[in-house]
Amino acid sequence: MMRIGMGYDVHRLGKERKLILGGVTIPYEYGLIGHSDADVVVHAIMDALLGAAALGDIGKHFPDNDEQYKDISSIILLEHVGKLLKDNNYTIGNIDATIIAQKPKLAPYREQMVKNVAKALNINENQVCIKATTEEGLGFTGEGLGISSQAIALLN
């Protein structure tokens, strides 16, 4: 049986944080504020995968009041989600994610993001698509106050 899950995440931008998206540290004057590394695209992917498997969400598995997850790499958390899926006899069909950010330009980093996600989940790179778009200056992402991401995943 095929199952589909959708994920969404958003974090505010702030000074003195690294900007990490898809496990890639991107040179930028601002970074995402959060308990972990605040990698919105990986968080959206994890929620899509967990939702498709009806295993809850990232807040259930990695609560933001648990010190063991403070500043942790979201790629490590994604590896854990992959293990949960395997333990529950799910295989990943594909993942499609979009990052919504006015700045910086993300095209130069997308290939490495795909590689990082595929490696963490032990799947082929052609099963992962990560795209980026702006919001033409509209809303909190368009104003440069934050970055959001949406993802959808198919499980078998």
Annotated binding site: 9-11, 35-36, 43, 57-59, 62-66, 133-136, 140
- The helix or strand, by DSSP H or E, that contains position 81, with its residue range, turns out to be helix 74-87
99, 106 in Cβ contact below 8 A? Answer: yes
Those residues whose C-beta lies under 8 Å from the C-beta of residue 17, and which sit 6 or more positions away, are 30, 31, 32, 33, 38
Q: Which residues are annotated as a binding site for a divalent metal cation?
A: 9, 11, 43
- One DSSP character per residue, 104-156 reads S--GGGHHHHHHHHHHHHT--GGGEEEEEE--TT-HHHHTTSEEEEEEEEEE-
